[in-house]
Structure 1
Amino acid sequence: MIVRILNEGQWTLDDEAFAALNAHDDQIEEAVDSGDEARLTRALTALLDEVRSRGTAVPDDSLADSDLILPDAEATLEEVREWLADNSAGEGLVPG
């Protein structure tokens, strides 16, 4: 699966990585529900770090569609709230 981090790039991840990503995703949802911007930033940074550490960077000159797009670490509480609202499946930022 190819994951894009906005304003940064893409990484290829195997399916096994998604259990760890979902744990961070749960923390992001909890931070949004509580309205805690600092907690959101920590959880979002941890999620993105997990993508970078578990994934393999896709070369910039490669054209590949992203299977999943994540906001960058500077995303605000309101921006992430909108991302979550746009996900009609209710699965957070990361499916599964």
Structure 2
Amino acid sequence: MIIRIVGEGQYRAPEALCDELNQIDNRIVTLVTEGKKEEFRAELAKLISEIKVKGEAIGAEEILESDIIVPPEDLSLEEAKDIFKGSGIFED
């Protein structure tokens, strides 16, 4: 799976990582729904960190279509309400 982090580039993620990211994504949806700003920001930072650490960075010269687009870490809670809803950005 190819994941783009807005403003930071693309990463190739193995299937096992995608399962882990989906769990974090589901927690983010719950936190956003409950309006828990600090907890949401911590989980979004964790999501981005996991992608960077466990994914494989794709060079800028390689142009690939992204399967998932992850918003930047400075996303506001209000903006998150439009993105992290339903099943979130990772489909179950």
Structure 2 portions without partners, runs of 5+:
none
Structure 1 portions without partners, runs of 5+:
none
Identical counterparts, % of pairs: 29
Matched, 1:91 2:87: yes
Match for residue 15 of structure 1?
15
Match for residue 30 of structure 2?
30
CA shift at 1:59, angstroms? 0.1
Match for residue 52 of structure 2?
52
CA shift at 1:22, angstroms? 1.4
Task: Compare relative contact order (CA 8 Å, sep 6+) and give the higher one, 1 or 2.
Answer: 2
How many residues are matched?
92
Instruction: Using structure 2 for the length normalisation, give the TM-score.
Output: 0.92
Kindly indicate whether the alpha-carbon contact (under 8 Å) linking 2:32 and 2:84 is maintained by their aligned counterparts in 1.
Answer: no
Q: Please provide the CA RMSD for this pair.
A: 1.1
Instruction: Using structure 1 for the length normalisation, give the TM-score.
Output: 0.89
Q: Distance in 2 between matches of 1:11 and 1:4?
A: 6
CA shift at 1:84, angstroms? 3.0
**Deviation beyond 4 Å, 4+ runs, structure 1:** none
